[in-house]
Structure 1
């Protein structure tokens, strides 16, 4: 562990008593829209609101009840690409265990966390880290994180998972296993929504054997100038699906209908994003929404993001034939997942998203070897 590694942690910087953030954390002027007090913004009931989908009836015996639930999910995926999932089948007790374990890790001294530090320079991105500067923007993000593969079991490296608290490994393992089952249910509904067989989309993103779940715990310390900083800058997720828990501190913003909207905190919910992979396969019928994370002066925000990602090289991502027609030609070039990461199809230009452009705008720690560009909200 080097001194430079320790001093680079945002947590240490935030706890140093500074009143002004270093210039490398100050965002560009065009990024500073709708970055007011996040607690006040969350109270705003005017305008569009992120949809809440009750999954309690997703497998109901009554066909009409079942179809109503599935149609609501399909509509949210097409119009928003993000939603709060409630009655999702994962117990509050397990979710609480995951949160308690993650918070306990980040509440440990920085020196203890440094035992799990990743080595971004060598391409080892699993473990404890902070964003490094990159040539794409030059700005840094106000967050530290812990990142690792969570599922399937044979692809995990438990040696880099936190040993304390003791419940971290069993809680995170069981949560990832249950999320994998939820992903199957969601992908089945989205498949049928495109007129495909239930198992089609899951097959196209790797199936039971190849779909990988990556967990990233984002730790956003209190920030003395939250109106100038971002926890995670604007991006779309490269994943198939992303599932997010948080500690009920607001901060997620979505770019919807040409403006930034702050998501409310919905108790006992899991936030789900449609990722670029599903947008590409659906030829744009399902949306991968531009989003970012705000920070605040008063409360630490923590989020637990799990990204369901296809294998990097084995699958060619392109619009499925059933989604293409003379009036709806293919909107995306064929690429492997690795190529999509390298030539990101979605880039932010002020407030807009342009397609089929090369950028380094949306990299997770795992996504961007050897560059580190940590976009995981």
Structure 2
């Protein structure tokens, strides 16, 4: 049987094949047995559906990428205790990032033509590989088996856009069936149907029905207008429901397979400040950058006493973090400006928190909390307008 090329979770027929393929696995898990060989077959099937056929070049890039990262991570595991540990560590982090860096830089110099090394989900696989190197250095991963690493790397429900799992958590569940599979099944069904509501109903409404209308009106107005404000809010709603819906599908599929991968969204538009927003929005990515970039940079800055003030070190860390996040999305002015916007906002938010601690008489009640939520929501929507690239089209590419 030949399966057509399919983007994960993009069309109803994908879910038909998915649920059909997962039924035998679910039956085994219900009876307390994880059938690893069948799970591997299902993984290969859905990788073929995503990266085979007309996307064969992405499939080849994926194979080459897996071989590269297996070599990088495996080699570092054997060299991590040698002399010049710090230099070796930084070298292998750079080697793990190298394929992703190439795919980000090539389009910038070749008229937005994608790199031949690129494939859907390369960023999220890179996060997993870099995480492995860092945790090996910290002594948190004490054993390495290349087949287990590849299994973690190619976990197909989350391969294209996350959520970003942690190896040690994944490894515990990969070797045994969950104690109460019915609980996993119940959570999976709820998340699957909520994902349908988010992505195929609300996401479709905001993205396919409303967004083209407000975009056309904003283009006709030719500048700052109420139509542009409408575009800002409609795009923000579309971005949330589309991405949150996809994440729910990935998590639901993982639940059906007996894995409890981390959630990605937790009512982000109810956050009362920007730092809390990033603790609720694309959480697995936020926490990955916090743990593996920001905290390590802060430790280095404080240890080497680069700045006398901890506040200055923290602010430098925020700007480095969000600039990196912006560049990760793409080498364009609006992604970089998006990163600067959030870094500035978080620094101001920290300054405000320090000011409130020195002035405890400032009001803090339901009204101030509600105003903070409303203000944060509008500020985030403004940042999403910047992130969308629509301003670039509106003002620079007419």
Do Structure 1 and Structure 2 share a fold, with TM-score over 0.5? Answer: no
Larger relative helix fraction: 2
**Higher RCO (C-alpha 8 Å, min separation 6):** 1
- Higher-strand-fraction structure: 1
Structure with greater Cα Rg? 2
Please report the TM-score for the alignment, with normalisation by the length of structure 2: 0.23
